[in-house]
Chains A and B, each alone.
Chain A
Amino acid sequence: MVMHAHAYPDIEIPTPSQIAAVALNNEPDENGEQSMVLSMGPQHPSTHGVLRLAVELNGENVVQLAPDVGFLHTGIEKTIETKTYTKSIVLTDRMDYLAPMSNNMVYVAAIEKLMQQDVPERAQTLRVLLLELTRINSHLVWLGTHALDLAAMSVFFYAMREREYILDIFEMLTGARMMTSYFRVGGLAWDIPADFIPTVEDFLTHFLPKVDEYEDLLTNNLLWKQRTKGVGVVNAADAIALGLSGANLRASGVDWDLRKTMPYSGYETYQFDVPVGQAGDIYDRYRCRVQEMRESVKIARQAIERVKQMHGQPYVTENRKVAPPPKSEITYSMESLIHHFKLWTEGFRPPRGSAYAAIESPRGEIGCYVVSDGTPKPWRVHFRAPSFINLQALPHIAKGKLMADLVALIASIDPVLGEVDR
């Protein structure tokens, strides 16, 4: 796909105060018509969290709107600077709380890139398995809430039912349902329990027919189609200019998935397809994501087969300067004890420098930029939050649409406010 200079779109994104200025100088025009400025949120059932939208309306039509974010700003990037590399993995979970493993992954991937640390194959395979489970988990919440916003309530209950299975798997693995903090630099935090693989297999067998069930409820549903087809169209050039990523980009017909195009964690060795839409409307985004769930099951199955072959291989690197030794070793080896002590009191020291790593999270390209000054604490960590950047497209997409479509649009972009505001 080649684009020429004149084709690159220039898109205006208003700010909330520019819209507020409209409200201040709001005089009726010669026909006596007057626009109305509406503040939607931050406490609103369909903004998926604490998002505020300043909307200028002409009757039912959106003239322009501006997202006002920051109501959940948590200072995660600054807090990470005060903790060691390992400790701050906990904080990354809580950005995109629907896909904690993806956040863990991108953070450790950036550090690994910086340190040129390699990861054992078994750990990589398990990571792929978990990332795909996370993708399913996140898409299920998206599907449930998206349908709920468009008044299809039962889908929500269906989706949350399957999500509980995944949460049970995560709980079995890490002890926590949502905030798993399971990835470490150089591998994983601990080994998988013995009955983990059979449980995941059970889940995948159980889950695949359920996707058809969701599709039965929505895909050919007349109401659903009327609310989503042809609504909120983004063309490919605009999508790229707005920095959309993930299913939002692919629904517009751009075949760009980091798992295929810039593979990490061994994704190049798996067989799977990347669903690409054409129309770039809400319906295509929906189709892409639902299809992605099926592809995730495919990848997870392949990963399981590999993990079964790799029994007994390490789950974390043997590099004792990065990963602590197993507890059993500490009892007889003085050196292990020193490593253990050093790692837990001080942490490891990556070399000076910086690195940017990006992976395909359920929402799009999540990236992490790490700057190290050679001390055990990062100098600066910045996350490219896909929700933050996808949300930026909302003013462009919603222009001229109906107010009721705005609700569908927000849900279809799938923002997670924790990640938007960090």
Chain B
Amino acid sequence: MIDRATLEQRVSAQFPTVRIGDESGDLCLTVERQQLPALAGWLRDEPDLAFTFLNQLCGVDYLGRDPRFEVVVHLTSFQNKMRVTLHIEVPEADPTIPTLARLFPTANFQERETYDMFGIIFTGHPGLERILMPEDWLGHPQRKDHPLGYEEVAFTHNEDWIYANKPFAKE
């Protein structure tokens, strides 16, 4: 078992450019995207760290910030009962990031989901396709500038107008 301070030291010795922070009590590492596979692989393969379990991988759209996107990865070490967070910033102009699906097979679906929802391209992914939305869908729905797609709700005062325009199905 290693503790958090040791882990921080080891990370900063191995990867001096990684920014070490805190995310509500969990260790949080902000990495450059080129460094991501190296860092994740190192965390996974060092015998005393053994962050072998990828909990989750998701995207966040910080619209109005530069870089606009962020990919968030959580890794767990069963051996040390510890969780770390990796934050990877992704600019809007070039929304690419190296894939983790080769290192952690479980990232496969989650990267596809992130691609589907945010349009972040995971280079080297074995089959980067839409997963939740239909194949012919335009846009990436969870981006902040994608509309929610709200439709007006029918109440007594506006139902005539709404039902007149609603495309009711025929037999």
Chains A and B directly touch (beta carbon < 8 Å): yes
Residues of chain A at the chain B interface (Cβ within 8 Å): 1-5, 8-18, 69-70, 73, 75, 77-79, 82, 113-114, 116, 240-243, 254, 256, 261-262, 353-356, 358, 365, 367, 369, 371, 379-380, 382, 384, 388-389, 391-392, 396, 421-422
Residue pair B58, A389 in contact (C-beta under 8 Å): no
Q: Contacts A8-B52, A10-B102 known; A17 to B129 CB distance under 8 Å?
A: yes
The residue that B131 contacts in the complex, of A10, A69, A113, A367, with Cβ under 8 A, is A69
A380 and B127 form a contact (CB under 8 A) = no
State whether A2 touches B50 (Cβ < 8 A).
yes
28 residue pairs bridging A and B, Cβ less than 8 Å apart? A2-B47, A3-B52, A4-B47, A8-B44, A8-B45, A11-B105, A17-B129, A69-B131, A70-B131, A70-B132, A73-B133, A75-B148, A78-B148, A79-B148, A114-B24, A116-B24, A240-B78, A243-B53, A243-B55, A243-B106, A254-B78, A354-B24, A355-B23, A355-B24, A369-B72, A382-B58, A388-B113, A391-B109
A353–B24 touching, CB < 8 Å: yes
Q: Which of B103, B105, B127, B133 contacts A242 (CB 8 A)?
A: B105
Besides the contacts A77-B142, A388-B109, what 13 more A-B pairs have beta carbons closer than 8 Å? A4-B45, A10-B105, A14-B127, A17-B135, A70-B131, A77-B117, A78-B141, A242-B105, A261-B78, A262-B81, A356-B23, A392-B105, A422-B132
Tell yes or no: B32 within 8 A of A by CB: no
Cross-interface CB contact of A15 among B24, B106, B127, cutoff 8 Å? B127
Report the Cα distance A4→B47, complex, angstroms.
7
Specify the chain A residue showing the minimal Cβ separation from B146: A78
Pair B105/A73 contact, Cβ less than 8 Å:
no
Measured CA separation A380–B129 after assembly (Å): 23
* Residue pair A5, B45 in contact (C-beta under 8 Å): yes
Q: B60 contacts A380, CB within 8 Å? A: yes
Q: Which residues of B89-131 are within 8 A (CB) of A?
A: 102-106, 108-110, 112-113, 117, 126-127, 129-131
User: With the chains together, A365 CA to B103 CA distance in Å?
Assistant: 20
Q: Which residues of A contact B130 (CB under 8 A)?
A: 70
- B134 contacts partner chain A, Cβ-Cβ < 8 Å: yes
For the complex, give the distance between the alpha carbons of A326 and B35 in Å: 52
Q: How far is the CA of A163 from the CA of B55 in the complex (A)?
A: 31
- The complex places the Cα of A113 from the Cα of B83 at a distance, in Å, of 14
Q: In the bound complex, how far is the Cα of B74 from the Cα of A365, in angstroms?
A: 13
Using C-beta atoms within 8 Å of the partner chain, give the interface range for chain B.
35 or more
Contacts of B148 in A (CB 8 A): 75, 78-79, 82
- The interface bits of chain B over 25-66 (1 if a CB of A lies within 8 angstroms of the residue's CB, else 0) are 110000000000000000011010010111110101110000
A15 CB contacts on chain B under 8 angstroms: 112, 127, 129
Q: Are A13 and B105 in contact (CB under 8 A)?
A: yes
Provide the main secondary structure of the chain B interface: loop
Query: What is the CB-to-nearest-CB distance from B125 to chain A, in angstroms, rounded to a whole number?
Result: 10
What residues on B are CB-neighbors of A2 within 8 Å? 47, 50, 79
Q: How far is the CB of B42 from chain A (nearest CB, A)?
A: 10
A243-B54, A356-B83 given; A392·B106 CB < 8 A: yes
> CA A8 – CA B108 in complex, angstroms?
15
Q: Which residues of A contact B102 (CB under 8 A)?
A: 10
Q: Which residues of A contact B23 (CB under 8 A)?
A: 353-356
Q: Closest CB of chain B to A250's CB: distance in Å?
A: 12
Q: Of all chain B residues, which has the CB nearest A261?
A: B81
The answer to whether B104 and A243 have CB atoms under 8 Å apart is yes
Interface string of B133-152 (1 = CB under 8 A from A): 11100000110000011000
Give the 9 A-B residue pairs with the shortest CB-CB distance, closest first.
A243-B106, A355-B24, A384-B56, A15-B127, A70-B132, A11-B105, A382-B58, A5-B45, A73-B132
Known contacts: A3-B50, A70-B132, A392-B106. The answer to whether A256 contacts B26 by CB under 8 A is: no
With a cutoff of 8 Å between Cβ atoms, the chain A residues found around residue B53 in the complex are: 240, 243
Residues of chain B lying within 8 A (CB to CB) of residue A358: 55
What residues on B are CB-neighbors of A392 within 8 Å?
A: 105-106, 108-109
B54 and A113 form a contact (CB under 8 A): no
State A384–B106 Cα separation when bound (angstroms). 12
Q: Nearest-CB distance from A240 to chain B (Å)? A: 5
Tell me which of B24, B54, B148 has the highest count of chain A C-beta atoms within 10 A of its own C-beta.
B24
Evaluate contact between A18 and B78: CB separation under 8 angstroms: no
A73 to B131, CA, bound (A): 10
Known: A9-B105, A242-B105. A70 touches B133 (CB 8 A): yes
Give Cα A119–Cα B56 distance, bound, in whole angstroms: 26
Residues of chain B contacted by A391 (CB below 8 angstroms): 109
Q: Once the chains are docked, how many angstroms separate the CA of A13 from the CA of B102?
A: 11
Q: How far is the CB of B19 from chain A (nearest CB, A)?
A: 15
**A113's contact among B24, B56, B81, by CB below 8 Å, is which?**
B24
Contacts of A384 in B (CB 8 A): 55-56, 58, 74
Q: Is the CB of A13 within 8 A of B109?
A: yes
Q: How far is the CA of A75 from the CA of B140 in the complex (A)?
A: 12
In the bound complex, do residue A113 and residue B52 qualify as a contact, i.e. CB atoms below 8 Å apart?
no
Distance in angstroms between the alpha carbons of A240 and B51 in the assembled complex: 11
Whether B132 lies near A389 (C-beta < 8 A) is no
Q: Which residue of B lies closest to A373 (CB)?
A: B62
Give Cα A384 to B58, complex, Å: 9
Smallest Cβ distance from A112 to chain B, in angstroms?
A: 10
* Interchain CA distance A27-B113 in the complex, whole Å: 33
Interchain CA distance A73-B54 in the complex, whole Å: 23
Are A75 and B141 in contact (CB-based, < 8 A)? yes
